[in-house]
A and B are shown apart, each in its own frame.
Chain A
């Protein structure tokens, strides 16, 4: 299994600003993902972070709002841009394991936008 860390673990930000969340995996993985979990809700996939190419975004999520980088096979960043209170959520990074489609998750970044 992969061990995934995220930074920061939490942050409180002002509206209109941007926050970049980092995700580090302890081994090379083929696929990495970013999810959002709004308060009291389930997880929603934001995008698949592709190494060496643009991320693949799910319906309702756009690159201008959630730019993603993946410079190598162990690291990815998600930026939440021009934040509003509606962006207050937990943001989780995950990576696809070598097993049958199971994903391993980071501890999440709890974001509060004032």
Chain B
């Protein structure tokens, strides 16, 4: 089955450590997205990528970094510079103007 895989589902880190969240898709989609969701809140755009080796900042990019070396993969690194990293992180992809397909998310807890 085609889809988007986010791993791990739960992730725990100590404050001050960088952590990388994985997002892989086998839908042959060009565009990929990372969103952050805090409890009871909507989705906020962190980064997005239209094609390989290109990505753009979203509304809350500070403290995050991404790479897009392969079409299928769009990993997100939460750096120690991110002041409040504990959140639910969602990855999505789409082709052209089709609707977004979302993964099941990674819940990151930093203590």
Instruction: Please say whether chains A and B are actual partners in one complex.
Output: no
Residues of A within 8 A of B (CB): none
